């Protein structure tokens, strides 16, 4: 605090009429300012006459105003820190959902057919419309659809001796029990395996292209036929405490059995 303010307050300080906040500020100042301390000692000893003018309390008001300003500034700083922390953890960089918050349900929609076959040690499939006429020629080791020779993706004949199965989609419904309003997702695919991370969050500062509102249906879809020709197909949902693993190929096998 400036010396001129302290010297204006010294008469009140000497007569014990200053507030506790003012006395604290004056004590701190006198401990480090020899000139103001000498003026105070002269006032206490009577060498300087104390002229109290209580009609003008501007210096005291200034001190109180400064103290209140410091308090308000500190409160605002705390509020800003709390808001910044909430924004960082609930919006910009939320934590993963816990496993108990994540509920997965599975349904299978079999709306078509697929012909599974093996060639050169590899399994593959072709989709067959429900109303298509399909025939096998075991002598020539080929198949026909609507009277035309059926070819694979590389233009080779699809061999006979395969298996006709129901085909469609496996649908994984994922529900997250959270008090927050959105779910931020990250999905990485490694061959036939998928890794999914789920982050409950608030919809502020987010790329809403990777966010779902909690009321929306978070779902993943898989081909039944494709799941059957792969060696394995797994969906791993990474949670805060543990991972949830779904064997998509096993679900596909159960769907057509």
Q: Are 159 and 142 in contact (CB under 8 A)?
A: yes
Alpha-carbon span 252 to 231, nearest angstrom: 12
If asked whether residues 233 and 119 sit together in one domain, one would say yes
Instruction: Find the domain containing 60 and state its range.
Output: 3-91
Kindly state whether residues 170 and 87 are assigned to the same domain: no
Residues 115 and 70 in one domain: no
- Reading the chain (257 residues) residue by residue, the pLDDT tens digits are 788 888 878 887 887 777 888 888 888 888 888 888 888 888 877 766 655 544 445 555 666 777 788 889 889 999 989 888 888 888 888 899 999 999 999 999 999 999 999 988 889 999 999 899 999 999 999 999 999 999 988 889 999 999 999 999 999 999 999 888 888 888 998 888 999 999 998 887 666 666 777 767 788 999 999 999 998 899 999 999 999 999 999 999 999 98
- On whether both 74 and 109 belong to a single domain, the answer is no
Q: How far apart are CA 101 and CA 45, in angstroms?
A: 75
Q: Check whether residue 129 and residue 247 sit in a common domain.
A: yes
Q: What is the DSSP string of 59-80?
A: HHHHHHHHHHHHHHHHHHHHHH
CA-CA distance, 214 to 181, in Å (whole number)? 6
In a shared domain, residues 51 and 113: no
Q: What is the DSSP-derived secondary structure letter of residue 210?
A: G
| Same domain flag for 72 and 114 | no
Pairing of strands 234-238, 193-201: parallel
Rounded to an integer, what distance in angstroms lies between the CA atom of residue 158 and that of residue 142?
6
Whole-structure pTM value: 0.65
Residue 83, Cβ neighbours under 10 Å: how many? 10
Question: Within this chain, do residues 68 and 103 fall inside the same structural domain, yes or no?
Answer: no
Rounded to an integer, what distance in angstroms lies between the CA atom of residue 72 and that of residue 225?
66
Number of compact structural domains in the chain: 2
Domain boundary among 75, 91, 107: 91
What pLDDT digit, counting tens, does each position of 75-88 carry? 999 998 988 888 88
121 and 80 within one domain: no
């Amino acid at each position: 605090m400036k010396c001129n303010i302290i010297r204006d307050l010294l008469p009140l300080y000497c007569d014990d009429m200053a507030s506790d906040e003012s006395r604290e500020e004056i004590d701190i100042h006198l401990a480090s300012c020899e000139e103001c301390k000498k003026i105070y000692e002269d006032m206490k000893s009577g060498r300087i006459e104390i002229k109290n003018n209580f009609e003008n309390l501007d210096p005291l008001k200034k001190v109180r105003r400064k103290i209140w300003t410091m308090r308000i500034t500190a409160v605002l700083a705390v509020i800003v820190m709390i808001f910044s922390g909430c924004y960082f953890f609930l919006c910009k960089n939320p934590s993963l959902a816990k496993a108990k918050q994540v509920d997965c349900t599975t349904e299978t929609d079999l709306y078509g057919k697929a012909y599974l076959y093996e060639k050169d040690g590899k399994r593959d499939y072709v989709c067959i419309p429900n109303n298509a006429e399909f025939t096998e020629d075991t002598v020539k080791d080929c198949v026909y659809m609507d009277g035309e020779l059926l070819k694979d993706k590389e233009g080779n004949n699809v061999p006979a001796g395969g298996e006709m199965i129901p085909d469609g989609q496996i649908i994984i419904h994922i529900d997250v029990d959270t008090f927050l309003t959105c779910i931020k997702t990250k999905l990485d695919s490694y061959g036939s395996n998928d890794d999914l991370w789920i982050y409950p969050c608030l919809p502020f500062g987010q790329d809403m292209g990777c966010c779902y509102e909690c009321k929306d249906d978070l779902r993943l879809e898989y081909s039944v036929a494709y799941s059957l020709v792969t060696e394995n197909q797994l969906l791993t949902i990474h949670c805060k405490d543990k991972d949830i693993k779904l064997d998509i190929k096993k679900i596909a096998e159960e769907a057509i059995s």
